Structure 1
Amino acid sequence: MKRLLVLTLLLTGCGGGVRNAARVERVVDGDTIVVRVDGRSERVRYIGVDTPESVKPGVRVQCFAKSAAKENAKLVLGRDVRLEYDAEARDRYGRLLAYVWRGDLLVNAELVRLGYGKPLEIAPNLAHAAELRQLAAAAKRDHRGLWSRC
């Protein structure tokens, strides 16, 4: 029983979902990346953050979208990351849903903290929702990122 508990804690990262190591192959936009995980390429949609649209068909490029994509690339492109899953593994488009960690940095939270995106709460994937709301409130208060221009 003790071994099972230790294994569970190791797999879940002590409170989050199972984590997979991945390498970022491409940045699609501010909240979507393509990673190499388990020997295959997977599109990953960040959980809990919504950045302005820059590549959505039928939607013109929104204010601060290119800046968000550029910052996302600066944070993760070509780097090793860990994917932390929440209650749902995939969205209706087949993308993996994940919190993306670069070392000890939660990239989803960093994008919100810097003002490149807003919190997006979609139940049941809410593990970091409270943290993201607090970071967004501070970014808005301090006029960071999109809160300064859009």
Structure 2
Amino acid sequence: MKDLRLRLFLLGILLLWVGWARALEVTVVRALDGDTVVLSDGKRLRYAGIDAPELHRKEGPPEPLAREAWLLNRQLVEGRRLRFEPAARRRDRYGRLLGYLFLPDGRLVSEVLVSRGLAFACFWPGAARYREHLLAVQREALAKGRGIFGVLRDTDPYYVGNRASRRFHRPHCPHAQHIRRKILFHSLYEALYAGYCPARGCRPGFP
């Protein structure tokens, strides 16, 4: 009798685990750009911890290698059922889900994008679970000049970093004038190696 109860208990645990694992799988129906996808339930998922070049800009053409980032993202995830891990911060300010997708071989989709030089490893509060790993991958891509890391060029004698947001700005940018916790970088390489991301707006290194 005790053996039967134990078996039923273990079976229940197994079923709960299987149900939990399935609940953390999602199907991607469409990649919108290099770091955002649409899921089968219609929700949009923004990859936590990275920032791909802008494909859809309000003004001007796409940023360098934005199309390449989108195409790689499509190749990796469209039409596939993948493991999903939500970030500690579940949604961004636009209401999109925040989290991580994993390929069947265990690789993080964001890792592949960063390793090809098609996305930056970026810090966001509540979405930093794999930050150190992504930053290590970025440093390797940066050293080898892959993708965007071989395209960006220094446009200014120095850049102004924000220690709070881990973003860096061109010195003439309006936001740069109001940063309280500043750090100065003398090259794009220095800023990116330190784990700072180019700020939106007057984006450092972009035409």
What is the TM-score normalised by the length of structure 1?
0.83
Residue 24 of structure 1 is matched in structure 2 by 28
Residue 16 of structure 1 is matched in structure 2 by none
1:58 shift after superposition: 3.9
1:149 shift after superposition: 1.9
Residue 75 of structure 1 is matched in structure 2 by 76
Q: Which structure: larger Rg?
A: 2
Distance 1:113 1:84, change over 3 A: same
**Cα deviations by residue, 1:34-72 (Å, 9 ceiling, x for unpaired):** 011xxx211000001101001143464101101100111
Which residue identity is paired with 2:33? D
Question: Secondary structure, in 3 states, of the residue corresponding to 1:44?
Answer: strand
Whole-angstrom CA distance in 1 between matches of 2:31 and 2:78: 6
Whole-angstrom CA distance in 2 between matches of 1:72 and 1:101: 12
Whole-angstrom CA distance in 1 between matches of 2:65 and 2:58: 17
Question: Secondary structure, in 3 states, of the residue corresponding to 2:133?
Answer: helix
Question: Secondary structure, in 3 states, of the residue corresponding to 2:33?
Answer: coil
Residue 119 of structure 2 is matched in structure 1 by 117
Which residue identity is paired with 1:142? K
Distance 1:131 1:149, change over 3 A: same
Whole-angstrom CA distance in 2 between matches of 1:143 and 1:132: 16
Residue 55 of structure 1 is matched in structure 2 by 56
Residue 204 of structure 2 is matched in structure 1 by none
Over the residues paired in the alignment, what is the CA RMSD in angstroms?
2.3
Contact 1:53 1:59 in 2 (8 A): no
Structure 2 unaligned runs (5+)? 1-9, 153-207
Residue 33 of structure 1 is matched in structure 2 by 37
Residue 95 of structure 2 is matched in structure 1 by 94
Residue 44 of structure 1 is matched in structure 2 by 45
1:102 shift after superposition: 1.6
Query: Highest relative contact order (Cα 8 Å, sep 6+), 1 or 2?
Result: 1
Contact 2:115 2:140 in 1 (8 A): yes
Q: What's the % identity of the aligned pairs?
A: 31
Structure 1 unaligned runs (5+)? 14-18
Residue 169 of structure 2 is matched in structure 1 by none
Distance 1:61 1:90, change over 3 A: same
Question: Secondary structure, in 3 states, of the residue corresponding to 1:105?
Answer: coil
Whole-angstrom CA distance in 1 between matches of 2:125 and 2:60: 25
